[in-house]
Amino acid sequence: MNQKFTNPVALYPNTGNDFIKIHTVSAKVIIFTAKLSEINMSLTKQELERYKRHIVLPEIGAEGQTKLKQASVLMVGTGGLGSPIAMYLAASGVGHIGLIDFDVVDVSNLQRQIIHKTSHVGEAKTWSASEALKEINPHVKVSLFNCALNKENALDIIKQFDIVTDGTDNFATRYLVNDACVLSGKINVFGSIRQFEGQVSVFGTKDGPCYRCLFPEPPEAGSVPSCADAGVMGVLPGVIGTLQATEVIKLITGIGQALTGRLLNYDALAMSFNEIKFMKDPDCPCCGEHPTLTELIDYEIFCGDGKDVEQKDEISADELKQLIGEGGPLQLIDVREPEELLEGQIAGALNIPMQQVPDRKHEIARNMPVVVFCHLGMRSMHVIQYLKREGYKNLINLSGGIDAWDAIH
């Protein structure tokens, strides 16, 4: 007769200093006792009681719970995704949680940002979230950063934590978080949501890809509506945020297989998951073999903010060729990285890599037509948006970039 084994079902306090693990084997009950001295004493008796459903799991145990207690995790954003991440990590016993957000609680947040209360409308989100975490688990240390993450403070804040969770809703901050994590040697547990769909992945592990390996360039400014514009199903961030929290716990305790090199996609309407596998890009400017991005850049330029999209002027490769042939006043600005110039160039173009534009904009003419180009025309468009806000009115984007130019030569 085959015996049926089950996992441990309980961890009960015994008399004295013993704890009892109960396993069931068919109809028999086998009792194992372990002295508290055999359990990592960095966990207090109160913590042993609180986390006993974790400790009874062989994959986690007291050792894994101690790792959680000693770990620190930064939540970038305390909104829809940050809410379940923070709540579950606090409940799970992560010892130090950081919250960074510059926003205040709005009544429209309450449909999905479950860490906040109606009574906290108008209060700072970081404070509101910390109040909830205190109630969930008073053993957890919470650090608040009531500000926006930017290129001036990102490295200083992120270096204080072991793991970062990205719960942001804009591309500029996603690239900033990615780059700061790579430069700091920190893991980035990424999540994103829109309407009824969400994505989760893990970036920045040793020898693993980063966000730029999967998305080398941001989408055209204004092409992806925000949650405010497109809407989001209230429970969706709960699903995605909980998956992010799961990845964090696995990474800290060293169990399971992380979503490194895998993008998990969730469709709430179909109630389905699918997975896209991707590799580390050896030519990635951030984490590749010869990185060119060695400091944080101006992410407003890189990603754009959707302003002036309707006002941008473009020129085709054929039109540019004709314009050059006419011999009139004209400046060509190539905003690609220096190593990209090997793929092809336009004679006479001045190379100003995108991240150097703020410091070198004085080299860009204001008194003649200026054609800006890159590989495909996306980075150059973002540069033009930035320069227009700086007062430039003579800029033209090369549609299709150097690829389009090479196609006619």
Q: Which residues are catalytic?
A: 227, 374
Q: Checking phi first, is residue 207 left (phi over 0); if not, alpha (psi -120 to 50) or beta?
A: left
Distance CA 320, CA 326 (A): 10
DSSP letter (8 states) at residue 232: B
Q: How far is Cα of residue 323 from the mean position of the Cα atoms in its chain?
A: 43
Q: What is the DSSP string of 326-351?
A: HT-S-EEEE-S-GGGGGG---TT-EE
Q: Alpha-carbon Rg of the chain, whole angstroms?
A: 26
Alpha helices, DSSP H, located in 260-390: 299-303, 317-326, 357-360, 378-389
Which among 195, 215, 211 has a CA at the least distance from the CA of 203?
211
Which among 301, 313, 289 has a CA at the least distance from the CA of 371?
313
Distance CA 335, CA 360 (A): 11
Distance CA 259, CA 236 (A): 19
State both tokens at 71: 């770990």
Distance CA 27, CA 20 (A): 18
Neighbouring C-beta atoms of residue 137, cutoff 10 Å: 20
Which stretch of DSSP H or E encloses residue 274? strand 272-277
Q: How far is Cα of residue 337 from the mean position of the Cα atoms in its chain?
A: 24
Which among 401, 297, 389 has a CA at the least distance from the CA of 344?
401
Q: Which residues pair with 203 in a beta bridge?
A: 188
